[in-house]
């Protein structure tokens, strides 16, 4: 059963099903909530893809601002199915979503080529255990997966100065906020509470980019000029200046094989890490 309030989209879905020779799904150009209220049918699953724009607010960040308002109609949904799946924008705040909803069992964070595309929320009526967050970053050559149960985030990661390798989590993990669990599961150190870079002496299978560190210098003009770099890929995290300002200040063009990370270390000092990206890491 497929319901869509938008007549054009409903017609497209119906056409697609016909082309795929799928004759087991009915399509209805109607409000799905109205359909549920008018038909006392119980389903194995209800899948909802709410509109992500509000008439007056534009793009929205909370489920209550979407159309339909899912939190407002949870009772109706669970009267028709034990299982509800909701697809939402990557802009949606995960903590806010958990607070707005009930019976959240699993949250899937899906990224493609390091860009978060969708959040998938799995709700099971009556579920009251810990929420599982599953992240996946789908690249051309591999898939990076990482999971965490929310109760595990009371762990505090150990900190370290930059060691041999620098690890940068993929976008799905950054969206999850599971920064302590990355350190715990993969046995890597954080550079700083808010920097979200990791380091270790050993090479580990890491869900993100891996770099070998060549230099670590204090953030000052003399030290950075001494690196002699005219071109580099620049990333900032937990750092007060923008990439644009840094390029202008130090006359460093974009590109090349060198990566510069402008960040903050465990002693709250501003530092610059010069590194090379490791390729084809298994």
Domain ranges of the chain: 2-151, 153-277
Ranking 31-35, 144-148, 197-201, 247-251 by mean pLDDT, the lowest is 31-35
Strand 58-59 relative to strand 81-88, pairing: unpaired
Degrees to nearest 5, angle at CA 82 with 77 and 88 = 55
- Give the mean model confidence (pLDDT) for residues 90-115: 95
pLDDT of residue 187: 95
pLDDT over 90 percentage in the chain: 81
pLDDT of residue 280: 65
Cβ contacts of 222 within 8 Å, gap of 6 or more: none
Q: How confident is the model at residue 58 (pLDDT cuts 50, 70, 90)?
A: low
Q: Kindly report the average pLDDT of the chain as a whole number.
A: 93
Written as six digits, the tokens of 206 are 């890491």
Q: How confident is the model at residue 55 (pLDDT cuts 50, 70, 90)?
A: low
Q: Is the pLDDT of residue 146 over 70?
A: yes
Q: How confident is the model at residue 243 (pLDDT cuts 50, 70, 90)?
A: very high
Ranking 62-66, 152-156, 184-188 by mean pLDDT, the lowest is 152-156
* CA–CA separation, 133 and 148 (whole Å): 5
pLDDT of residue 18: 93
Q: Is the pLDDT of residue 46 over 60?
A: yes
The H-assigned helical ranges of the chain are: 7-19, 32-38, 74-80, 94-100, 171-176, 179-186, 221-226, 243-250
Is residue 90 within 8 Å of residue 98, measured between CB atoms? Answer: no
Task: In the chain, count H helices and then E strands.
Answer: 8, 17
Written as six digits, the tokens of 71 are 């939190």
CA 64, distance to chain mean position in Å, is 20
**Architecture of domain 2-151 in this structure:** 3-Layer(aba) Sandwich (3.40)
- Give the mean model confidence (pLDDT) for residues 180-204: 95
Is residue 258 within 8 Å of residue 212, measured between CB atoms? Answer: no
DSSP state of 269: -
Q: How confident is the model at residue 60 (pLDDT cuts 50, 70, 90)?
A: low
């Amino acid at each position: 059963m497929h319901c869509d309030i938008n007549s054009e989209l409903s017609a497209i879905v119906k056409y697609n099903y016909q082309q795929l020779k799928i004759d087991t799904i009915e399509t209805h150009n109607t409000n799905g909530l109205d359909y549920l209220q008018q038909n006392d049918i119980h389903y194995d699953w209800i899948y909802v893809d709410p509109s992500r724009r509000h008439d007056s607010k534009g793009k929205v960040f909370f489920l209550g601002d979407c159309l339909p308002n899912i939190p407002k109609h949870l009772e109706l949904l669970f009267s028709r199915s034990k299982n509800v799946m909701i697809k939402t924008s990557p802009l949606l705040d995960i903590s806010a979503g958990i607070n707005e909803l009930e019976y959240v069992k699993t949250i899937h964070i899906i990224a493609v080529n390091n860009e978060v595309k969708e959040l998938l929320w799995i709700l099971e009526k009556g579920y009251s255990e810990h929420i599982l967050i599953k992240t996946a970053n789908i690249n051309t050559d591999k898939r990076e997966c990482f999971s965490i149960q929310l109760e595990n985030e009371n762990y505090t990661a150990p900190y370290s100065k930059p060691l041999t390798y620098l690890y940068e989590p993929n976008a799905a993990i950054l969206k999850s906020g599971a920064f302590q669990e990355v350190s715990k599961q993969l046995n890597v150190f954080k550079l700083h509470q808010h920097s979200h870079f990791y380091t270790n002496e050993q090479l580990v299978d890491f869900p993100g980019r891996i770099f070998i560190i060549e230099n670590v210098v204090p953030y000052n003009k003399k030290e950075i000029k001494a690196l002699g770099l005219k071109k580099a890929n620049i990333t900032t995290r937990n750092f007060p200046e923008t990439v644009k300002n840094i390029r202008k200040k130090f006359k460093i063009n974009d590109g090349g094989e060198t990566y510069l990370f402008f960040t903050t270390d465990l002693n709250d000092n501003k530092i610059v890490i010069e590194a090379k990206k490791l390729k084809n890491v298994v």
